Structure 1
Amino acid sequence: MPESPRTRTSTRIQDAAWEIFCERGLPGATMEEIANRAGVAKTTVYRRWPTKSAILIDALKERLAPRVKFPQDGTVRDDVVAQIEAVIELFGNRTGRAYLAMIAESVHDPEIGTALRDQYIADQRDAAIRRLRTGIEHGELAPRIDPEILVDGLYGALYYRVLVARAPLDRAYATRLVDSLWPAP
């Protein structure tokens, strides 16, 4: 089915917002600049999104969600390793670096922080928790395991390494991380 003109316009606006954000950060991504780059009136932008944060979160979801979708292919442990590898791969490209910059911006901009948490991170976190709960139900993880704490430990370590320690990440790190924190049966 061909894309509608409305969908094409929304895509142009999201693309423009994302490109500006990648180039200039959150302060440089004004609604006026987004409209200009997308080739639409500012009112067209405001009809679809109330704020630049809303546009950026939608653009982020379009770009990130398919790349880091939680796998359901193997054992829970293997799926966790594969998902962390996907996140590490993402962090190594422009889109991932922009996502990390958005997380950093959220410290100073509560609106972007709330939108990021509520509209993107919460879904990703829930997917990981659901996958771990499936592992408990199927006997791959002990019933005593708290999936939320395990997710915090795994992903907290990953984000700490990239945002605070600024240490290198590679696929081998995903396996080392899971091996270190994965609970014994």
Structure 2
Amino acid sequence: MRRVSGNIEDARSRSPGRPRSEQSRVAVLRATSELLKTVGLRAMTTEQISNRSGASKATIYKWWSNKHAVAVEAFLSEMMAESPDPDTGSAQEDFRRVIRGLGHFYTGDSGRVFAQLIGEAQSDPLVRNELHIRLVEPRRALMRTIWDRGVQRGELRGDLDPTTALDQLIGPMLYRLLLGHAPLDDAAADAVVDSAMRGLAV
């Protein structure tokens, strides 16, 4: 019965000018999210997505160019691109909380998928662009807000390039995610922030 219903929906979605069914779209994204966590990005196939979601492969390819495009949307639809601004009154404490949040994200199921998508982004401009716009930019914007507040309060050095300074805070945790050579727990996050602040603080 589910397959018949899916075929009807597919036929409707192929009608000229008809917008894609939100119900089918959600089913595809949910199925993709489950497969990313169980079999991984490389092993996941469009056929598996189709079987699990009830949407035909033709419909999936009509909406997305390849499985990586589906994976990026599924991954990002499950998480908020914007992190809350701690705004504790201390730039160092704000950075500590944000970097700890990155550590929690990296060590969960989403972190493993994120690492796989970063790998694909090296050869797929679509994946790279989507990750940059919807995930990287919002988080860097939050870090830049914290940086600007710290400079204005006289906590951080205004003579430094903010982009380079923020890389010193974000880079070590991402490096650990990709290589797995060191922990990503709260203690590691605190150590990264404390070490960076020795050169960034006034």
Aligned residues with identical type, % of pairs: 28
Aligned residues: 180
* 2:155 equivalent to 1:175: no
Decide which structure has the larger Cα Rg and report it: 2
After TM superposition, the structure 1 = structure 2 runs for residues 15-30 of structure 1, keeping only pairs within 5 Å, are: 15-30=30-45
Instruction: Give TM-score, length-normalised by structure 2.
Output: 0.75
SS across alignment from 1:105: helix
Change (3 A) 1:161 1:73: same
| Aligned with 2:79 (options 54, 64, 70) | 64
1:140-177: CA deviations, max 9, x gaps?
32321322111111111111123225211210111111
* 2:52 equivalent to 1:37: yes
1:59-79: CA deviations, max 9, x gaps?
22223336x714233133222
* 2:121 equivalent to 1:106: yes
The match for 2:87 is 73
The match for 1:83 is 98
The match for 2:201 is 184
Equivalent-residue separation in structure 1 for 2:184 and 2:162 (angstroms): 24
The match for 1:10 is 25
CA contact (8 A) 1:70 1:79 kept: no
CA RMSD of aligned residues (A): 2.6
Change (3 A) 1:25 1:113: farther
Equivalent-residue separation in structure 1 for 2:50 and 2:149 (angstroms): 44
1:18-69: CA deviations, max 9, x gaps?
2223333333333332222111223433444333222222222223336x71
Deviates more, 1:53-62 or 1:78-87: 53-62
